[in-house]
A and B are shown apart, each in its own frame.
Chain A
Amino acid sequence: MAGLRRDRRIGLRVAAGLLGVGLLLVVAGTTFAEDPSPSPGVSPSPSIPPTVPGPAAPRPIAHPTDGSSNQCYDCHAAVNERQKAIADAWQGSVHGTGGVTCADCHGGDPRSDRMGIAMDREIGFIGTPSREQTVGVCGSCHSDPERMRAYKLPTDQYSKYWTSVHGQQLLTASDTRVAICIDCHGSHDIKKASDPTAAVYPPNVPALCAGCHADAELMEPYGIPTDQYDVYQRSVHGEALLVNADVRAPSCTSCHGSHDAKPPRSTEVVEVCGKCHTATQELYLESRHSELEQAAPKCWTCHGTHDVSQPSEALFFHPEPPQYLCTTCHDLENQTLRIELDQFADPADRRCDTCHHPESDIYAQVEAIAGSLSEAETAYADAETRIAEAADIGMIVSDADVALSEANTSLIQAQAAVHTTKLTLISETAGEATTKAESASDLAQAKLDESVFRRSAMVIVVALIVLNVVALYAVKRYLERTSRGSGGGAPPA
């Protein structure tokens, strides 16, 4: 029985985490979906259910105390190995070291070593809180500013939780399979979020969420895909966080939220991405795209969601023009512009020409943008190759490196300027990048030319040295001949 409870706790803990990753699709594809314009690959929900307000935070569990006794620990540590492990886990936890005792969550009288008194339900002992109770037990302290002030912790987690898809499902459907506090933070072994061994430490978050959201059986009732973790791991974000251990890179909670976990709405996605990509967001807001509002292509239209990859010039065009239908971009019934996000589910379709027809004016502008960027990128790659060649033969290329670094800055600016969709700006910036890259390339070429000169000079110098050696050798032979003629080896001087 105890094993079953533990398994269930582990399962639910992981479920809570992974739900963050899959929320995007959860909302779009389930009955409590609220995003009218969901992520690619799922159908929009016809209605957005209103958020049901959560209950007020209960009062902390009252129990008698003398301020220091914790007989619970002494007895439970002596019961058996499992109880000892739990007691030790608590003792090493942030609660155990912070003065939060067993009775603060379980009730009872921590002063007594007699079970009948210490675990007397008459005085408020509640035993193991149910999953419904647990949120309240945690919230009773963690929503209390007076209690939390000493720890400098926020107090909005409880209220936020009830706004999350997890909390809403627990509240409205009494669905105890959804994630609650202990599923992510643990129960007795709670650690600070800044502790690298904590499940909620950023690089550990994707695996934590995947614990539930990659579980096909667990997700089946909600109709949620379970491949988000696999997809995320291969993305630029996943690689930065999981492979390069760059804690600045986004985990599931960066986009979906943690206590208030839910998928970003279509109208929110620019803000969500813009939390990190601030400069790009500003450029996008200058663009014609952003003016289209609901029908606008958003970040995920071109870059995807969990599968964000390194942007490249491949984002401009399909290798072969796609099949165009009026309904690709237009709602025939309402005579309005409409972008069907399903069309961008496949990364191969995240292209400008998915929407912009080859015979349109805008297509020609896209071609010009792609052309100027391609020219800059080619010039940059050429410079890079030439500098590497010069460095390989031992030339000092620091000046060319500096020039290349400046070209790289301009190139990044030009690539970012694509988000404005303004041809003039992009062409100007890309032109600057091309000029700077060519300048770096010229510096590297000068090094290569210098190396050729050095090698030519080396041949001449070595030839002169050889001539000298031959001359000296001739003198030596002459001396040896004359020496032999005059008698040679004499006794020591």
Chain B
Amino acid sequence: MATITLQVNGKSHVADVEARTLLVDLLREHLRLTGTHVGCDTSQCGACTVWVDGKSVKSCAMLAVEADGAAVTTIEGLAGNGKLHPMQEAFHTCHGLQCGFCTPGMVMRSVELIQRNPNPTEDEVRHGLEGNFCRCTGYHNIVKAVLMAAESVRGGAQ
């Protein structure tokens, strides 16, 4: 067992974890932050995407001990004071989610995508989401939502 300290959604946590414990298991099992989902065991589906020190990371592909000292943001930490992030708002407006299972990872990845590329083309959005699977939406409305959120964030920044 190792003792690690990390920030999750702005709160400091100390946790005793096994060396093999994955970051996603720390979040879901130890901290009961069940918004981060597990959809595969080979790091393809992206349902477990969170931010570690501001970068999107598949939390099934990172050991909890590697997050020692890091600042982690999960879907539960994205909305501020009950107000949806523009990306969450755009997913709602565009019907970018159906069953909701891929949604947390998809949203976390999408926010990072438009932070890196504030004015993406449809093609750039589609390639930017290659690490996140959705079986419900055919991606059509997710892509629409990301483009809408990008526009809304650009508008807000002006």
Q: A and B bound? A: no
By a beta-carbon cutoff of 8 Å, the part of chain A in contact with chain B is none
Residues of B within 8 A of A (CB): none
